């Protein structure tokens, strides 16, 4: 069972890879409920996950196509928790009709890069930092992610396009917080 601290989140997230082949429409892997907001049974308290860890938590569950089971007290939900749980672009990644679970296709130290194929031909990519230090890199290994050519890169948490990128020519600057995430959608430019 999940608990509202980094060690528990990391352990559960790291164990999901082996279940990826079994996920799909009609049979979803369940890494447990979301521990965001006011949580606890008998001892309600604000989650012990830091804000960046909460973004990572919700992003991973969305990439995993996991059931988004809300584990907090809805009557005591703050604005931050509400914004996490209602981001329609992140939820769309979770609910994508293709139903594929993301896999970690590439790692740079503790930066794990998860890729999820989407029904419209685009890809959701989570640059997930499991390290205690921020990750500042200039990423250019798009072939490892099976992403080629010109792509529109959209930041799903900020709900805005950040740039058009020619993956064979230009790198993408990434500044991923410790225990944090950048969740992007790569869409081929026609």
Torsion of the alpha carbons at 121, 154, 134 and 100, rounded to the nearest 10: -30
- pTM of the entire predicted model: 0.96
Could you report the per-residue pLDDT of 3-62, keeping only the tens digit for each?
999 999 999 999 998 999 999 999 999 999 999 999 987 889 999 999 999 999 999 999
Spell out the residues 6+ positions from residue 89 whose beta carbon is closer than 8 angstroms to its own. Answer: 154, 156, 159, 185
Which of 3, 4, 9 has its CA nearest to residue 129? 9
SS3 category, 157: coil
Give the separation between CA 152 and CA 169, rounded to whole angstroms: 14
pLDDT band at 179 (very low <50, low <70, confident <90, very high): very high
Give the separation between CA 112 and CA 129, rounded to whole angstroms: 6
User: Residue 184: in which H helix or E strand, if any?
Assistant: strand 181-188
């Amino acid at each position: 069972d999940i608990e509202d601290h980094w060690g528990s989140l990391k352990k559960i997230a790291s164990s999901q890879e082996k279940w990826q082949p079994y996920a799909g429409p009609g049979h979803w892997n369940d890494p447990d409920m979301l521990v965001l907001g006011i949580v606890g049974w008998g001892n309600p308290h604000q989650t012990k996950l830091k804000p960046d860890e909460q973004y990572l938590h919700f992003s991973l569950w969305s990439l995993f196509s996991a059931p988004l089971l809300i584990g907090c007290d809805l009557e005591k939900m703050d604005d931050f928790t509400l914004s996490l749980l209602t981001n329609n672009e992140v939820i769309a990644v979770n609910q994508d009709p293709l139903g594929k679970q993301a896999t970690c296709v590439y790692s740079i130290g503790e930066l794990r890069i998860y890729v999820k194929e989407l029904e419209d031909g685009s890809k959701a990519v989570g640059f997930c930092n499991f390290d205690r230090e921020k990750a500042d890199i200039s990423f250019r290994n798009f072939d490892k992610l099976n992403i080629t050519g010109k792509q529109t890169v959209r930041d799903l948490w900020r709900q805005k396009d950040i740039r058009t990128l020619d993956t064979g020519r230009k790198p993408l600057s990434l500044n991923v917080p410790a225990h944090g995430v950048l969740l992007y959608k790569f869409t081929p430019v026609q």
